[in-house]
Structure 1
């Protein structure tokens, strides 16, 4: 395959709903483009079903009673992407140097197809050359063994199974470090930190059945139509029974406006639609803290008036007294908040906040759904804590139909943390691991994503092993990171397709191709299954049946096991070969390490809807220092972490509905009306006019972080859009070049990609 050319750019409004015939056409386009055969259609039927495979994209839960087609547009794209007939063979690498390939777009690199052979970088020719698996494992082990373990990073993608993740985390700790950043560090670590501090658990408290009993949904900073489209079925069902859905999001995302169910013949035939949001408030980027404070202020004012008049309280005073701590300090901050400041920071009229508060005040069971629009800000943890504050005010945690519902991205990013992929000692039962495997585990905190980036740039990180993902493309500070990456002593990339991270080699570099989750994984004991955890803490089995892309591929557990044997001394308490031969033995080991979470693990794998690992906060058992749920008085009303200034904009980096994280499926962001390009700058018409810009003009963005470092993204097409004034939108990961590595969420270290300070430079 040759490098593809994108179509001529077309930017015009899209008037249709989410789902509907647009989704059908998108599916009809990608299947032939990937040249998939009948096998792909058979696999789509098995997707997200019992005894099938779990979708390799998002982590939205799988229902007990599945639809005939239990996949969405994005999930179908992910399946076609993995089962493509295109192949990136050793011959391809003989035709192209890595320097040449750096001029290729992200889409072109991955569209070239599945990797087929293990490859070693040859500096003399600047090319990858084929090698044997034994050669790769031997040199990687020989190079890493004498290194200081603290200088080595073990990164993992959120698509990796529980089995491979457990092995990987154990290998790192037995090697001597906890440098285990993963994709959670880039998205929902603010959730893990915020919820843990507030309610004692680092994850949401709700399950799929709570959608059947809620009577209101608060929705913050999540684009369901592109990032978790299967949720639209649940939202549609809620709206059909009269549930109020109140959305706060800077952009009008089509999935939160209107939805046509592609699996409903009547809706498809009649072009029928369901209106999703009953209120839609276009809050400023970083203004959610102020909006939530406004709702809380109305509740407190109404509560005070009700008590003074001898009427029933607005707040759940019984719940607050019995189950919470810190309420007085929080209420004092609410009373002290200034209405003018709330309106200014949120970008919303007071009357709109009052409408939302009135609905919340009368609702009996409320879900609070949110995504990275809350977590990826400097005050991302406070955003999460403020969501909890609102829920606690009316007792909306620990009862049916109520609670925080963070929407995770990668399909097992939450599960990885459950089985030990974390840099934090307190989240891992290290004493149990030591007893189980007879070694001394490190207690020193490892490197998270931001710290790993710092280490690559300053040279303290000498080696980087990546179990999946596209780390170099996903992180901030693109240009310094790419320049520093080539100074690494070792770079090991385990992947299914070629991506930009692979084009920046270290001194010793290996590209190791692995099986995809949809493919048949046959080991010594026979066909294997793996497991993943969804956003609601339910565990699901996944069985691949598709024919592997190449006979030279190894599974992720097999690669990790082989690396561990090379990296670590023999240990009579662990048999890596036996684990690779039979993944059930890995699950037995997981159960031994986490007996309360995984009791009888191997006998629960195919439970419809998954088996729930439990959640103490959902039982109103608060595993906090006070033994109660914690209110928090926020430090301010703006989450951006920087002041507004003349010419300074708040840039939100966005995903299109033709991508999943750094994977670009194409150049058609249907819902935003963009086709043929990703070089777009979304801007309010009044800001465009004030800046002297015109529709279609080509401009650049420059960082306005005030740190004296020049960061620039050229070639953006000015596109008037319905976006709050003072805010801009542009695509991720292309605009990561504008984000300082030090621009991250306090406490959680999540890159603050939803409010990056920039200025527009006219060309």
Structure 2
């Protein structure tokens, strides 16, 4: 048995001497420098400064970056490095206009880096692809809308897919979901299909809700916070202020993650003058354990074994037996399965010692109120459902769901990815009530479920999908297996991109292809009825209004809401109850419809949308109302100790995890400085620990290839990756998303939600 000095235990949060690339705290001067570099590139600095001063505040712009909460009493600067970058990126005064596309063919643009494509500037006029000239050329809005409508109207509705990123507000999202169902399909995949769909599908089975149970208030009352697979410093930096406050009042934080991420190690608050002057960081995690990829089930099983052993010694002192008896089902079977696991197997699968797991469990026992945080490190696995089920088990054992200061809390990425689901974007009939659609609009929505993004992508490959509409995002770049999919995309009859900036997905046009420029979150949205506000939902189920104040990039740019309404009107037969023109002119009318369609969540929507701190739409599990099949919270009996779909095989084989840099947001690459990991320059790298480098005879800077070991008849290999030493568990390599997406087969996904398994891919290093 290993001891607590195992290399995967970093209880002391100082510099790890074996990780030369791990430098400095999150926040601090580095964060300010990151913002200033982008700020210096924005010519309208006065406008930018004004918008940043109101970002995430009542009556201001709600950040288009992460979905973290906007407090009722905001700080002077209620934005982080990521939010500032996203906002400034959108305020770019450069224009990707007709002149730009006249100068650059699609073939040439395919050779550009993703960063350079978006740096071309804001899209400023509608464009249609001219195959003979291999260029996008200007087209009038009327021609574009009419041709798109005619193409959609002429096809079988089930041949069309309406994708959305998490950018669009609730108003455009509702119309998009309504449009699809009025057309006759529910092919409404969304960006959550690639990240947190494991939560949406499986959490509902376990505790009866598809979203997390916590609110911001819970962090003021928790005694411990456990993190699994979430990188706060890069993905939701404003969360660090909440964590700092929790630590200062004595809350313990325990982190399980294959990589030591700076945001969960130490943080210098850029708004704290003394911390900035002294550079004296706040330690965030009391314990930080580098679990092996896929080893979270083993960790939690070990913690549960410890709790059960302690309960046996002192009955009633450890577990909340009253809660278990009254509120849950499946406990006895789960106990039997957990106790049957051997500690040697738990240590082998987790990469941690029994001592480490038990000391984490002891922290859990000593805490009255515990919040369980997780990110895509937990969800993007073939058996991600069991990761989540085991996490719920751990919390349920001590009644840590459904009371103040406790709960399970996925941290969402995109700003409105959760809200779009709430107002109907989703492939299931349950996402939008059919009876309400019939009552309000006379529509008989299809009863058959539609396609999520994996199923839609398979339809692109087999030819059953003919049209792809994208409401924001960079779908083709974000998908797994994207090299195969890019070839299939060109066979589509119609591709439509509603976008603010050029990206790589636009460079794979279908037989007819349009780019329709839309307003960004920061832009003034002036419609026939006057200036409009939009709304979104955060990770804690709170709804906020947002008002843009920047001048749009041109008078040819339209709002997402207006574009969706126009395409719907051009596609569908006339129906006096589908008032597309009225809705595009006055978003209040759309919010009234949302309130009528989802009265429990959105009653009195228009009057509450500007409420400081947002208005809470509620969560039944928070009130211990379990909307499950049994009417109780569900314990989940584990069937295995690893969430990996396939373990790597061979001396040169590793488990690959994909990462995002702190200089990117999803597929948007702001620059080439991964400051929080101390990595600069090329993104074509593979991270590996020095011991594994020595074992394989690899040298720092050596160029290697990665080969996917998932066999399905397709060869997947990426060449030209630079070996870069980094502190990772043995048997693990890491590299950047989306560059390494081609190594992930479309078929390699979480079994219930079909979320791609980006965090556990078996690969082989080839020299």
The alpha carbon displacement at 1:708 in A equals: 3.4
Q: 2:305 aligns with which of 294, 297, 304?
A: 297
- The 2-side partners of 1:524 and 1:479 are apart by 43
* 1:548 and 2:552 matched: yes
Mean Cα displacement is larger for which, 52-61 or 641-650? 641-650
Look up the match of 1:3: none
State the Cα deviation string for residues 373-432 of structure 1 (Å, max 9, x = none): 000000111111111111100000111110001000100000000000000112321111
The alpha carbon displacement at 1:443 in A equals: 0.9
Q: 2:267 aligns with which of 253, 256, 259?
A: 259
> Contact 2:338–2:638 (CA<8 Å) still a contact in 1?
no
* 1:419 and 2:444 matched: no
The alpha carbon displacement at 1:86 in A equals: 1.2
> Contact 1:388–1:404 (CA<8 Å) still a contact in 2?
yes
Mean Cα displacement is larger for which, 348-357 or 378-387? 378-387
The secondary structure found in structure 2 opposite 1:164 is helix
- The 2-side partners of 1:87 and 1:634 are apart by 54
State the Cα deviation string for residues 74-129 of structure 1 (Å, max 9, x = none): 00000010001111010111111111111111000001110000000001101000
Look up the match of 2:121: 113
Q: 2:714 aligns with which of 704, 709, 715?
A: 709
Q: 1:725 aligns with which of 723, 730, 735?
A: 730
> Contact 1:36–1:80 (CA<8 Å) still a contact in 2?
no
- The 1-side partners of 2:723 and 2:566 are apart by 50
Look up the match of 1:37: 45
The alpha carbon displacement at 1:34 in A equals: 3.6
Look up the match of 2:8: none
- The 2-side partners of 1:34 and 1:479 are apart by 34
> Contact 1:654–1:729 (CA<8 Å) still a contact in 2?
yes
Q: 1:70 aligns with which of 66, 71, 78?
A: 78
- The 1-side partners of 2:575 and 2:432 are apart by 21
- The 1-side partners of 2:431 and 2:519 are apart by 29
Q: 1:533 aligns with which of 520, 534, 537?
A: 537
* 1:246 and 2:254 matched: yes
Q: 1:273 aligns with which of 268, 281, 290?
A: 281
**1:98-497 equivalent positions in 2, closer than 5 A:** 98-307=106-315, 312-497=316-501
> Contact 2:23–2:677 (CA<8 Å) still a contact in 1?
no
- The 2-side partners of 1:525 and 1:138 are apart by 24
* 1:681 and 2:686 matched: yes
- The 1-side partners of 2:581 and 2:20 are apart by 56
> Contact 2:307–2:318 (CA<8 Å) still a contact in 1?
yes
- The 2-side partners of 1:610 and 1:593 are apart by 20
State the Cα deviation string for residues 255-277 of structure 1 (Å, max 9, x = none): 00000000001111111210000
- The 2-side partners of 1:52 and 1:62 are apart by 11
- The 2-side partners of 1:492 and 1:123 are apart by 15
The secondary structure found in structure 1 opposite 2:694 is helix
The secondary structure found in structure 1 opposite 2:498 is strand
> Contact 2:647–2:655 (CA<8 Å) still a contact in 1?
no
**1:542-621 equivalent positions in 2, closer than 5 A:** 542-621=546-625
Q: 2:653 aligns with which of 648, 653, 656?
A: 648
The secondary structure found in structure 1 opposite 2:515 is strand
Runs of 4+ in 1 over 6 A off after TM superposition: none
* Unaligned stretches of 5+ residues in structure 2: 1-18
* 1:90 and 2:101 matched: no
- The 1-side partners of 2:517 and 2:398 are apart by 51
The alpha carbon displacement at 1:648 in A equals: 2.0
> Contact 2:647–2:762 (CA<8 Å) still a contact in 1?
no
The secondary structure found in structure 2 opposite 1:124 is coil
Mean Cα displacement is larger for which, 149-158 or 421-430? 421-430
- The 1-side partners of 2:65 and 2:548 are apart by 15
The alpha carbon displacement at 1:12 in A equals: 5.7
> Contact 1:21–1:268 (CA<8 Å) still a contact in 2?
yes
The secondary structure found in structure 1 opposite 2:599 is coil
TM-score w.r.t. the length of structure 1 is 0.97
> Contact 1:12–1:674 (CA<8 Å) still a contact in 2?
no
Count of residues in Structure 1 that have an aligned counterpart in Structure 2:
748
> Contact 2:374–2:409 (CA<8 Å) still a contact in 1?
yes
* Unaligned stretches of 5+ residues in structure 1: 1-10
The alpha carbon displacement at 1:14 in A equals: 4.4
Look up the match of 2:33: 25
Q: 1:657 aligns with which of 647, 652, 662?
A: 662
The alpha carbon displacement at 1:433 in A equals: 1.0
* 1:757 and 2:762 matched: yes
Look up the match of 1:628: 632
> What RMSD over aligned residues (CA atoms) do the two structures have, in Å?
0.9
The alpha carbon displacement at 1:15 in A equals: 2.3
Mean Cα displacement is larger for which, 378-387 or 492-501? 378-387
The secondary structure found in structure 1 opposite 2:718 is strand
The alpha carbon displacement at 1:492 in A equals: 0.4
The secondary structure found in structure 2 opposite 1:480 is helix
- The 1-side partners of 2:564 and 2:649 are apart by 50
- The 1-side partners of 2:363 and 2:669 are apart by 39
* 1:694 and 2:702 matched: no
Look up the match of 1:4: none
